[in-house]
Amino acid sequence: MVDSTLPATPDVPESVYLDLQAALGITKHMGGMTSTEELADRCHIEPGKKVLDVGCGTGKTPCYLASTHGCSVIAVDINRSMLSRSRERARRERLGDSVRFELADAQNLPYDDCHFDVILCESVTAFVGDKAKAIGEYARVVKPRGYIGLNETTWVREPPPARVVEYVFHTTGARPETARVWQEMLGKAGLRNPESEVHEVTMLSEWVSEMKWLDMRDLLGPWFRLIPQYLANADTRRFVRTLWPAPSEYFEYFGYGLYTARK
């Protein structure tokens, strides 16, 4: 793993980043709809499959999977506000019983062993305190021969400069890994044939992926909520100030990987 020598508590706590996303009604993962669809294909998500989406955020992915792939989805998040946003989206899209949202921690999933056909997790595992424990939980609750698909922040070159590592951690609380480490963790959890596909990104490519992924409500709503949130909340103002300037070499080292394995 990357030796970042980071403090136990970031200057801007992870909760501020996640709570702000919930307040604004937005979550994102790198690669947008294209990466979600690729993971769905690799994990063979089909009608009748039982899928667990870990860290569902505002519910975009589970609602998309239920409506386009005909699967049954349970989606979990550790943030109650995110779950409220997700349920609102599911009602708006009239998905009925095909998707259900529940409060849960990725490191301690409240489900029986061998319960799901597919576990999907997008830009979540890098945030948890014990990544190996979380991946072990994914492996525990997936059925034999079931699939696990992860989209996770990844160091596309190593070693990343300390100031890039610190910037990512202090702005979000995330601890990315290299593709090799992500694959090793999947293997150590007892999963077979871990595979990876690493993607470099630019600011423009990420903006384009977001435009393809989000509808007008998703795009405009957060901007209308940000101004009063910024004016009223000191943590929000402090967080926004940490975003600029980003290290000039940020996108040279920071990207994402799609990781799949089978039980």
The C-alpha torsion from 236 through 173 and 198 to 159, rounded to 10°, is 120
- H helices within 70-152, ranges in order? 80-92, 131-141
pLDDT in tens, the chain (263 residues): 544 434 333 444 456 777 777 777 777 889 988 999 999 999 999 999 999 999 999 999 999 999 999 999 999 999 998 999 999 999 999 999 999 999 999 999 999 999 999 999 999 999 999 999 999 999 999 999 999 999 999 999 999 999 999 999 888 889 999 999 999 999 999 999 999 999 999 888 877 777 777 776 776 767 777 778 778 888 777 777 777 778 889 889 999 999 999 99
What span, in angstroms and rounded, lies between the C-alpha atoms of 83 and 233? 22
Q: Are 176 and 159 in contact (CB under 8 A)?
A: no
**Residue 252: count of CB within 10 angstroms of its CB:** 15
Q: Domains of the chain, with CATH numbers?
A: 27-158+173-201+249-262 (3.40.50.150)
Whether the CA torsion 104, 149, 163, 201 is positive or negative: it is negative
Helix, strand and coil percent figures for the chain, each rounded to 5: 45, 20, 30
